[in-house]
Amino acid sequence: MGKKFFCMLLLAAGLTLSACAPEVRLAKLDNDMVEDTKSGLMWQMGESPTMYASREEAEKYAASLDLGGYHDWRLPSLAERWELLQIFVLKNNGTIELPNFDSRYWTTDTDKGTLPIKLGITCMCRGDQEIEYKSAGYVRAVRGPEKSSR
């Protein structure tokens, strides 16, 4: 039996188990960083103080970032940004909230090249994503091995 079926069966019987609770994937490292415990990626908690109109400016901001003694920050791929969004939608974030999470952010790629995007979910039942393209965006930097969108 699958875990979801088992949990639904227990809930129907009026019982609960901690195994049915959402898997908490974000751990706060300090006031500036969180780690996705599944992927190992570290995320900037805040965002760049300003919006950037070009990818070059956004990449320069990320590369110059000094958080937690790390100097290898970069722009996330679309796949990484999408995975971070899913953590919050599926309530796997625990008590961690990222400021202005639903704003527009730069990624290294989209299906239209490299434009800042605002991600949303149009139908949880299918996991459909909605991408809104913007002319400028903030940076929420990430560090760790890049997960490609392709």
pLDDT digits (tens, 9 = 90+) for 45-54: 999 999 998 8
**pLDDT at residue 122, as a whole number:** 47
Q: Is the dihedral of CA 95, 100, 106, 112 positive or negative?
A: positive
Q: Could you tell me if residue 15 is inside a domain?
A: no
**pLDDT at residue 89, as a whole number:** 84
Q: Could you tell me if residue 79 is inside a domain?
A: yes
Q: Could you tell me if residue 1 is inside a domain?
A: no
pLDDT digits (tens, 9 = 90+) for 110-135: 666 555 666 554 444 555 556 777 77
Q: Could you tell me if residue 4 is inside a domain?
A: no
Q: Could you tell me if residue 135 is inside a domain?
A: yes
> Could you tell me the CATH number of the domain that includes residue 118?
3.10.100
Quote the percentage of the chain above a pLDDT of 70: 68
Q: Could you tell me if residue 14 is inside a domain?
A: no
Residue 129, amino acid: Q
Q: Could you tell me if residue 29 is inside a domain?
A: yes
Domains identified in the chain, total number:
1
Q: Could you tell me if residue 16 is inside a domain?
A: no
* Predicted TM-score (pTM) of this structure: 0.75
Buried b or exposed e, range 11-42, using 16+ CB within 10 angstroms: eeeeeeeeeeeeeebbeeeeeebbbbeebebb
**pLDDT at residue 124, as a whole number:** 47
Per the structure, the complete domain to which residue 57 belongs is given by: 24-143
